[in-house]
Chains A and B, each alone.
Chain A
Amino acid sequence: MASAGIAVALVVLIGAGLVVLVALTRLAARLRRPDARNDLEYWVGRQSRAREPAPLPWTAMVVLTFVAGTGAVSLQMLLYSVAGLRFGVGTIAIPWLGALIAIAGLPHARRTAVAMVSAPASVSRSSRQNSIALCLTALIALQIAYAMFFALSFSIRGWDSWEFWFMKARILFTHRALTPDFPPGPSFADYPLHMPLAVSWLYAAAGSVQDRAAKVLYVLQFAGLLIAFNGLVRSMTSRMHALFFTALLSSVPVLVIQGAGLPPGVDGFGLYEWDQVGYSDLTLSLCFLLAGGLVCVAFETKHAVCLYWAAFFCGVGAWTKNEGLVFACLGASAMVWAARRRIVFGRELIALAAIILVFILPWSLYKSLLHVSSDYMRDTRARMNVGAFRNVPIVLSGLGSRFLKATGPINLWFYLYASTVILNRRRLRSSPALVVDFLVVSQLMVYLCVFVMSPQEIRWSVSTTMSRVILHVAPLGLLAAAVHAFEWGTPGGGWREDQVAAAE
């Protein structure tokens, strides 16, 4: 019964995500109508006749709808609480069901929805390529199978999961609302509630607190991250290239620790770095990948709708963890950059900013009304003194140990990223991945500054959180590495799969 409830909850999430993405696409089409050169109607409105492929493979689009669904449903639950309504399965699912029926009834919206999940044309490959692709796919599938098998074998085991993420979900489920006395209860009251609300939605559908079954959300995010990564890279490079880099990403230890968990006693990892399923870092990493990856795809393919979706995932990221606020600002800067490159009109920037703010404003207002603030924001001026610079060597050595240790939590990520940037240095300025480089490096720089001014004991803070904050940008960094490597190895550079196929 509980499993059936959770299955229904997941279907509702995907349905809600589909509604949101169709609405964003229609909004983009409406705002861009005067633009004849880059008219979105071309593929969202007359898809069946034009045979223009959707910007991403259908598998990646399913992941986009799933993540958009968790973001939208959790925001809906917050708004219900603010309006004094208690959330239940019916009250949450019925509006989305109504919207799906409306989409099915409206021809333009229906065509948009169908276009979103239509895969790009397949490309013929040699038998040798097929066998390599099979091996790489098997490796990725094995990692996902391990995550399913291990994570769902027992309940949560990570400290942050008990202390606040799942604790908040438990409290929210019991009250069926966000009560005014909620934030002072569990620790880290200022943390956004995207994942606690998403987990409590699963509990509501299951009818009880099922923390073992609710871990499926994280396993799906792990699988979704790999699938979305593959789709994003594939839309800018080739199928083999995308599979190669996805296989590498699937064996990044910190990703497995957050999506599946490992048994205790693994050598070479930091404190508590063996099972962190139930934390929100994987979710944030997925949001960053989707937002940054879609911006990159927009730069490469000039599909402006990708920027609308990217803005949405920037907002969901800010609604997942406070670190997402910084990324949302960086994402907004990338959109201004896109406007300068004439991918979107200047007037569309207002719409893009509004999409991001839809997720940032409600929680910010709620926190300010209840006077909830972050430890990091308290006494900032007092901490910005010369003494804080004593932390710099500790923070840099912590970062260096994660980056440079080959068998550490991020494997050879740093070496691969740095070497592809160096190899592609001649085309760097014209590369669509430059915008991803900007996002990754800027986000890491902000983290370093926050560590230096951290109110926590610095060694403790670095040892417990450094790997996790690198995880936030690791998949996005690997995406940039994949694009750089492809451009370096392809004469002329910047050839996508469809162009390669045409050349063959």
Chain B
Amino acid sequence: MTSRTWLYLAWFAAWQICAIPLYRAEWKGSVIAAGLYRASEEDRRFYADGPVYSVLHTAQQFVPIGGSALFITPTIDPEGWYLEGKFKYYMWPRRLLLVPAARLRQERTMPDTDGIVLFDPRGQLADVVAFLDGLPALTKVHELSLGRTYQAIYLKRH
């Protein structure tokens, strides 16, 4: 073999060694995809969206198309944005307004919307839940605790 061939071989070996984390992740991904091979669309969505899926799915049923909802998260940035993007996408054409829990605690007032979606990934919003539970204008139509994740949907009483 020529020196050029050896050089190519060395490059290829080095490249493949550095790609090991990628291949490992691909293997993990393939196992997950194989597990979803015969799964329903709902299971696939649950895998992609995690616990957000169940509250989204329910909110889509309760908030009317063309209506609006308030979305309450513990933080704005970056996790709040991340969740807001996902909620906005799946809730469209319903309008979604993001309100961080801190602002709600401070102002104790809310914009007028058809419903309120609360998603709390780390169990930090017990006081906000108590506040919303105490509002006579609202009815809680959905509530779910999955580990530390808490989610709820409130609708305006008519």
Contact = CB atoms under 8 A, between A and B. Distances in A.
A171 B92 contact: yes
Interface string A151-165: 001111101001100
B27 to A, nearest CB: 9
Interface string B10-21: 011011101111
Contacts of A154: 36, 44-45, 47-48
Contacts of B36: 153-154
Given A251-B15, A412-B14, A412-B18, A146 B26 contact: yes
Nearest to A409: B22
A251 B22 contact: yes
B111 to A, nearest CB: 19
A262 B12 contact: no
B145 interface: no
A163 B11 contact: no
A339 to B, nearest CB: 36
Contact of B25 (A153, A159, A247, A266): A266
A75 B26 CA distance: 35
Contacts of A170: 89, 92
A389 interface: no
Given A150-B33, A166-B89, A266 B48 contact: no
Given A150-B33, A163-B88, A489 B19 contact: no
A256 interface: yes
Contacts of B33: 149-150, 153
B46 to A, nearest CB: 9
Nearest to B27: A146
Nearest to A174: B93
Contact of B16 (A156, A244, A251, A266): A251
A259 to B, nearest CB: 12
A162 B21 contact: no
Size bin of chain B's contact surface: 35 or more
A163 B82 CA distance: 9
A407 B18 contact: yes
Interface in A266-311: 266-268, 271-272, 274
A248 B33 CA distance: 25
Contact of B26 (A256, A267, A268): A256
B12 A248 contact: yes
A263 to B, nearest CB: 5
A256 B16 CA distance: 15
A263 B89 contact: no
B14 A159 contact: no
A196 interface: no
B18 A406 contact: yes
Nearest to A160: B85
A31 interface: no
Given A153-B32, A263-B32, A416 B11 contact: yes
Contacts of A494: none
A135 to B, nearest CB: 10
A45 interface: no
A412 B13 CA distance: 11
A244 B32 contact: no
Contacts of A163: 85, 88-89
Nearest to A170: B92
A167 interface: yes
A251 B19 contact: yes
Contact of A155 (B8, B18, B25, B48): B48
Contacts of A260: 26, 29
A267 B12 CA distance: 22
B26 A262 contact: yes
A167 B88 contact: yes
B8 A268 contact: no
Interface in B1-54: 4, 8, 11-12, 14-16, 18-23, 25-26, 28-30, 32-33, 36-37, 41, 44-45, 47-49
B120 to A, nearest CB: 20
Nearest to B16: A251
A261 interface: yes
A158 to B, nearest CB: 9
A261 B33 CA distance: 11
Contacts of A271: 78
B4 A244 contact: no
Nearest to A274: B25
A221 interface: no
8 smallest beta-carbon distances between A and B, as pairs: A162-B89, A163-B85, A154-B48, A153-B33, A251-B19, A162-B85, A262-B25, A266-B25
Interface of B: 4, 8, 11-12, 14-16, 18-23, 25-26, 28-30, 32-33, 36-37, 41, 44-45, 47-49, 78, 81-82, 85-86, 88-90, 92-93
Given A155-B45, A266-B25, A412-B18, 20 more contacts: A149-B30, A150-B29, A150-B32, A153-B33, A153-B36, A153-B37, A154-B44, A156-B48, A166-B89, A167-B88, A167-B92, A170-B92, A247-B12, A251-B16, A251-B23, A253-B19, A262-B22, A262-B28, A412-B14, A489-B4
